[in-house]
């Protein structure tokens, strides 16, 4: 089961395996809440690694799909040709979809866990900063471009 696999991954993760957050805390806009626990650091790492694996698999699947399409008969494909390519495309999509679902689940569990560890942050927008610092910030929605809002991943 998924939760058992997550527990095993977290348990076997060593300190040197933990990924450092990339965001540099803004001393003006960000307000420090505290440091993440080791458990949150591991969960953060597992979430980020799963996302990286999903992006890598997406690139591989895209390249494979392009190959399949390039090899597809141009002159009136048969029904068997169509079924064959559909099966091959589904076979490429299934593991990618599963990995993306895992990434989303880990992201949700991570942010729920952050909010449990820092209950004072309830209702605030949060950032995970270098040094495993957790900070809150006030979002200025009127200054944010609608394009940026569509691109930025919302923090639950």
* Digit-coded pLDDT (tens) for 61-87: 888 888 877 777 677 777 887 788 788
The terminus-to-terminus CA distance of the chain in angstroms comes to 25
**pLDDT digit string, tens, across residues 17-38:** 999 999 999 989 999 999 999 9
3-state DSSP assignment of residue 76? coil
Q: Look at residue 67 in the predicted model and tell me its pLDDT.
A: 83
- What one-character DSSP code corresponds to residue 140? -
Burial class (CB in 10 A: 0-12, 13-18, 19+), 36: buried
| Domain residue extents for the chain | 31-151
3-state DSSP assignment of residue 59? helix
CA–CA distance, 29 with 138 (Å, rounded to integer) = 7
3-state DSSP assignment of residue 149? helix
> Where is pLDDT greater, at 46 or 147?
46
Task: Specify the pTM.
Answer: 0.77
């Amino acid at each position: 089961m998924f939760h058992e696999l997550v527990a095993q991954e977290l348990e076997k993760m060593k300190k040197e395996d933990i990924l450092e957050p990339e965001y540099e805390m803004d001393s003006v806009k960000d307000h420090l809440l505290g440091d993440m626990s080791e458990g949150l650091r591991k969960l953060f790492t597992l979430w980020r690694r799963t996302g990286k694996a999903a992006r890598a698999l997406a690139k591989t699947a895209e390249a494979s799909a392009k190959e399949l399409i390039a090899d597809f008969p141009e002159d009136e494909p048969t029904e068997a040709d169509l079924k064959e390519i559909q099966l091959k495309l589904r076979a490429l999509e299934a593991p990618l979809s599963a990995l993306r679902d895992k990434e989303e689940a880990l992201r949700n569990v991570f942010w729920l866990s952050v909010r449990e560890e820092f209950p004072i942050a309830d209702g605030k927008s949060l950032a995970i900063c270098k040094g495993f610092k957790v900070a809150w910030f006030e979002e200025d929605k009127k200054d944010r471009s609608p394009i940026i809002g569509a691109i930025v991943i919302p923090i639950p």
